[in-house]
Amino acid sequence: MTSQGQCMSSDKNCHASFREMLLMIDSNLGSQEVEQLKFLCLNLVSPKRLENSSSASDIFDHLLKENLLSEEDTFFLAELLFITKQNKLLRFLDYTKEQVKHWLPTRGRVSPFRKLLYELSEDITSEILKDMIFLLGDSLPKTPMTSLSLLAYLEKKAEIDDDNLTVLENLCEKVLPKLTKKIEKYKREKAQAILSPPSPKRMESLCHGKELFSQLDSKTFSEALPVVDVYSMNGKHRGHCVIVNNHSFTSMNKREGTHKDADSLSHVFQWLGFTVSKHDNLTKACLEKVLEKYKSHPDHAGADCFVFCVLTHGNLGTVYSTDEAPIPIREIMSYFTAQQCPGLAKKPKLFFIQACQGSEIQPYVSIEADAVNPENTEQCSIGDSIPTEADFLLGLATVPGYKSFRHKKEGSWYIQSLCSHLKKLVPRQEDILSILTAVNNDVSQQVDTYKEIKKQMPQPAFTLRKKLVFPVPEDAL
């Protein structure tokens, strides 16, 4: 392997050496090790791409494209080799087993849940696997399975996840009870991590430790913080995106430009892998039928996520149907709580509302405000609109009590910015809250100055428990 000094003298030779080093690691890994690497990379690399990877070098190529591996930072690959006990290969990356073990708590990318499944797979012998397959019966496909592929299948079918290991516990209890101890240990450590934030001493060492920053070099402080779990995106399909697009009302102004918003949302969520359905000009009765349909939709069981968008007139905490009935936002969201919609339990549910939340202002010729009842200036909390249970996100076009703006031809400030930033930042693997922060910044800088300055500030509220990162669409690479 070329020394650091030699690399500095020739970028081309250095690049070649790095690739050669990866190829040497590949030559030391067989089909079993490739399967292990693919399993550990789930949630971080598209499952479809991993399925088509037949060698370690294929996986390395995906890691390079996802910025999980680079010539300057090879730690994630070192982590994978360490977990799979390929410690002799760490020398190619200039790491020792002790160094990797030391940095895993702060730099590790493989989630505790995935490491648990991997550790369990190591104890599942061929005989134990045969018994598990027999107990699961006809629910499994009639194809040969390894312990890892069985666990991956249960996860894909949403039979198990990081918060629900009941099916796996029952299996282990019947065929190999000692494995339940590992599951119990995982659950205890997960609960402890939630209840006990890093100690002041630990945080001080993260912030000021000389050894940390000398070895991390240009790594940011955020990379030194404990790893946050990410919602699984390995379901049978991404999920449904429902768009309610109200243009014409009984007596209220028509919402010119709303079709531009609906088309933009349809395009971007189809691009993200969702099944999109658009519903134009819904009365209250029609909206309730749509809500009932998707509350009990059978597809939710195999879905990763759910999105519901409403483009209409609105007021404090409410939106309006085309027959001008006020419908509380909270009432719409309540259809999808775990009790009402078990298929979406523990899965992220996103609601985007393009509607005013307060008084209307005299519009500029091609700018309108999606508001009614301008005399009502009472303030309320956005938190009043969102269910108290976990896994919800509500994105409002404006803070409560204020107007939101829509261009008659170009669509609304908020929805257009949301679609633009999803298209721009999903390929960079940004999570949804970071994307919405960028949307806040973008919309807040837009201004209409006809007669008086008119500005707008969106506001998200959420009870998400994990980061929500959409897989990078194929055509974004």
Q: Which residues does the annotation mark as catalytic?
A: 313, 356
Cα dihedral sign, 381-314-305-442:
negative
> What is the identity of the amino acid at 282?
L
In angstroms, rounded to a whole number, what is the distance separating the alpha carbons of residues 245 and 322? 10
Tokens 């599951």 — which residue?
183
Per the DSSP assignment, residues forming a β-bridge with 356 are none
Residue 430 to residues 183, 198, 424, 433, 440, Cα–Cα distance (Å): 31, 24, 9, 8, 15
**Residue 123 and residue 179 in contact, taking contact as beta carbons nearer than 8 Å:** yes
**Residue 276 and residue 241 in contact, taking contact as beta carbons nearer than 8 Å:** yes
CA dihedral 216, 221, 223, 225 (to 10 degrees): 120
In angstroms, rounded to a whole number, what is the distance separating the alpha carbons of residues 391 and 43? 18
Paired tokens of 162: 């990081």
In angstroms, rounded to a whole number, what is the distance separating the alpha carbons of residues 425 and 144? 39
Task: Identify the CA nearest to 398 among candidates 451, 350, 360, 343.
Answer: 360
Tokens 């997960």 — which residue?
190
Per the DSSP assignment, residues forming a β-bridge with 141 are none
**Residue 320 and residue 313 in contact, taking contact as beta carbons nearer than 8 Å:** yes
**Residue 350 and residue 240 in contact, taking contact as beta carbons nearer than 8 Å:** no
Number of Cβ within 10 Å of residue 109's Cβ equals 18
In angstroms, rounded to a whole number, what is the distance separating the alpha carbons of residues 109 and 41? 9
